Amino acid sequence: MNAALADSAVVWFVEPDGQTVAIAGGKGASLARMSAAGLPVPPGFVVRAEALAATLEKAGALAQVRQVLGELRGADTAGAAAEQLMAMVQGSPIDEALSGQIRSAYSTLGDDLPVAVRSSACAEDGEAASYAGQQETYLNVRGADAVVRHVTDCWASFFAERALFYRRQKGSLEDLAMAVVIQRQLDPQK
């Protein structure tokens, strides 16, 4: 795990680093900027973008993920590669240090609080491309175990066939930087 992740793998919307796309992804940085501007944004935090690659590396899967992505550049379809890559991510457990930081941050938001667990790609919504909708968002997630599990699910969705196809078209296939936003979910009925 790199020094930034060992120190703090989570960044709150109210922290200056939260406004940095390379750290918080496009969605996370936008939420942090809105929060800093005083707009009414439900509180939340971001699992730093480099945590995905660090988790894959610690599990011994990073080189294989990069190899599959490299082979995908010339392939006609991404279906088989997507299944393989998603399985590699799902099989790469989040280590105790990162899991502990996510659990602690979730607890700070509130006990058993419903949250949205949202993907936040670093290349999201730039001038050349809009990656919005390519990865998954999970709503009404409750409990620390479920939050940690859905972080992995968001990471896996980064390798879904539609996401791989789009990233290949935009020339960002090898980019593994994707943050995950965990944000208090508001009840729309209130």
90-119 pLDDT per residue, tens: 999 999 999 999 999 999 998 889 999 999
- Angle, helices 62-72 vs 79-90, to 10°: value is 170
* 36 — pLDDT class (breaks 50, 70, 90): very high
pLDDT of residue 76: 66
Question: What is the rounded distance in angstroms from the CA atom of residue 14 to the CA atom of residue 52?
Answer: 22
What are the pLDDT digits (tens) for 143-164?
999 999 999 999 999 999 888 8
Cα–Cα nearest to 32, from 185, 189, 157, 182 = 182
In tens, the pLDDT along 49-87 reads: 999 999 999 999 999 999 998 888 766 678 888 999 999
In this predicted structure, the answer to whether residue 89 has a pLDDT above a threshold of 60 is: yes
pTM: 0.90
Band of residue 188 on the pLDDT scale cut at 50, 70, 90: confident
For residues 29 and 19, is the Cβ–Cβ distance under 8 A? yes
CB contact burial 15-53 (16+ within 10 A = b; e otherwise): bebbbbbebbbbbbbbbbeebeeeeebebbbbbbbbbbb
HSE at residue 181, side-chain half, CA atoms within 13 A, is 31
Domains located in the chain, CATH noted = 3-184 (3.30.1490.20)
Give the per-residue pLDDT at 132. 53
Q: How far is CA 155 from the centre of its chain?
A: 5
3-state secondary structure of 38: coil
